[in-house]
Structure 1
Amino acid sequence: MSDWPHRVAVAGGTIEIVVGDITRLAVDAVVNAANRTLLGGGGVDGAIHRAAGPELLAECQTLGGCETGEAKITRGYRLPAAHVIHTVGPVWRGGGQDEAALLAACYGNALALADAHGLVRIAFPAISTGVYGFPAEEAAPIAIGTVLARLPDVSVEHVVFCCFSAGSAVLHRQALEALTR
């Protein structure tokens, strides 16, 4: 029997941790760990753009980019998700450049944008933990803590942390268990 998915009822809804491909999730919105141009890239960003099709790129070209920590929303096009919430995570520079606050802002602003659009189910990747180099063991508690703090105040009722690896999922589960004791 697999450890995934791992679901926990929390104040304001449910948090679920899965190992999988975020482009295959049928949720109201998937969150894209985008770069500042919003025009696609590697990792999750490239996968979302490829799966959504060229219409996503065309819409992103109209948005004028996005600053680190901020979020913007588009349609999901060919994705099972109705929307994509694009957020730009911080590049890790050792921890002294407000990286933790900027990462928390990514999760908080994505939830606020989902709330503004009345969305109920959203899925997050592990923002900034790939090529941006944010240590996953530090990022997971920030992600989980931010969502736990904001969930009771937004329309979102179900948050999926869609992890690329079992190792990332374990870090998210450990953070969730530690923060909900």
Structure 2
Amino acid sequence: MKPRNRREERMLTVLERETPRYQTRERRRRLVVAAGGCLGLMWAAAVVCWFLAPSTAAMVTTFVLWGVALALGTQLWGMIHIVTRGTASLPVHLLDERQIRERLSAHPIAHRLTLLLLLVVFFVVGLALRGDKPEVPSAAATVLLFALMATVWSLPMLVTAWRMSDPPPEEEDEAEVA
């Protein structure tokens, strides 16, 4: 588990920060739910654009929703990255065996969720376009695309954080119990 360059050294330094507050499964899941809420704001912006664009209300609402989602999501993403110890994003040579197993089990689940999401979006958009004048505002298509890309990009990390087990107890704790 030796870094090969300065970028990897910096990544490991950040991940070595202790975050005992979020080391339990319940607290990590709260972070995942909050990050999912930020993704939900992005999707809500796409719906707002679909129904209100082109208008000033659609533009303002979209910018506000995306601003809140990005401001909160950036903080949450950093926290999730630290509490998962980079399991979903570090190069494989920097991971231990447990992290590799967690990554290998989380990625297929994230891909299945992505496929499900794509199917749902496909059918919802298909139903929305069944009217007499099927029109899609270009702003709605753009915001929908960016919401989809953000979701696909973040799902592996969110699934990893959701499924991650609690760390094993420290040796000192075991010695005190005995």
Give the TM-score taking structure 2 as reference length.
Answer: 0.26
Give the TM-score taking structure 1 as reference length.
Answer: 0.25
Higher strand share: 1
The structure with the larger Rg is 2
Higher helix share: 2
Larger RCO, structure (CA 8 Å, separation 6 or more):
2
